[in-house]
Amino acid sequence: MSALPDGVPPVVRPYGDTTGDGMVQVSFTLPLAPGKRAEGAAQQLARRMGIDAPMVVHATGIGDRYTFFVVYGPVSHVVDVAAVEVVEREYPLLSPKETNAAVREHLQRKLVVVGACIGTDAHTVGIDAILNVKGWAGEKGLEYYREMKVVNLGAQVSVPDLVERARAERADAVLVSQVVTQRDAHVHNTTTMSAAFREAFPAERRPLLVVGGPRFDEAGAAALGVDRVFGRGTTPGEVASYLVHAVAARAAARREVPA
């Protein structure tokens, strides 16, 4: 159990029409043609999910064999807020000026970052938001930082090509964005990538491996074999601050190892 900030109640229920009424809204698709039987099936599923007296508030046919539903109703479950586990940020957020100064202090050269979307993923919005100078959410991307060299490989990069480019650039960090998640493609691609880097580099020379995307679990870095996972809403400043923190920690660890 973790201590709660002031003003945070220990137990909460969902809110719909009035505070604490337990109302939730869920959406899903069933492989049934639109109609009364399909709506009854949606209500049955909702009841088995713990929704009492579920109401089908929206039903749209998808072709003649599928129906998309939105179901609304109350649940009796409560949330134990103190038992909620999250990945806390263990490093301070730095301004670009502070980041540049930290890189100069700890590396005495530019920090090299290689980024890509791997596998069949062609969605570059995420990686571009972090790397491109125009950035995202009012923050400039890593290309803006004077003490960083950024190599953006774009979309559909194979894992072997990513490994070789990281080696050629002597990358300190590799950033991978994954948006395509069908059949857990993002998990497969990431574990394949991490295994390839561990095979290609000695542990002390392997770049930091950082992945991001809307469907990743930020607590799943160890299972994926990477150093850090960033979820939706991550800003360039958060990534830059993490890279400086992690690179500085590595540099300190190397200095402590006897010759």
Q: What is the pLDDT of residue 256?
A: 64
Q: What is the mean pLDDT of residues 3-7?
A: 69
Q: Which two tokens stand for residue 86?
A: 């999250």
Decide if pLDDT at 258 tops 80.
no
Distance CA 175, CA 128 (A): 11
Interatomic CA distance for residues 168 and 165, integer angstroms: 5
What number is the average pLDDT over the span 206-222? 91
Three-state secondary-structure class, residue 63: coil
Average pLDDT of the residues in 8-23 = 90
Residues 117-131 have pLDDT tens digits of: 998 877 888 899 999
Question: In the chain, pLDDT over 70 holds for what percent of residues?
Answer: 95
Is the pLDDT assigned to residue 250 strictly greater than 60? yes
87 confidence band (pLDDT: 50, 70, 90): confident
Per-residue model confidence (pLDDT) at position 124: 87
CA distance 70 to 56: 6
Q: Which helix (H) or strand (E) holds 98?
A: helix 96-106
Active site residue 149: no
d(CA 176, CA 178): 7
**Alpha carbons 159 and 197: distance in angstroms, whole number:** 9
* pLDDT of the residue at 57: 97
| Overall average pLDDT of the 229-251 stretch | 92
Write down the mean pLDDT value for the chain. Answer: 91
Place of tokens 């502070």: 98
Which residue among the candidates 97, 134, 140, 149 is catalytic per the annotation? 134
The predicted pLDDT at position 45 comes to 98
Provide mean pLDDT across the span 24-33.
98
pLDDT number for residue 257:
56
pTM of the model: 0.78
Look at strands 66-74 and 55-62 and give their pairing: antiparallel
Strand partners, 118: 157
**Is pLDDT at 85 greater than 90 in this prediction?**
no
Confidence (pLDDT) at 114: 98
pLDDT in tens, 100-111: 999 999 999 999
CB 118 within 8 A of CB 157: yes
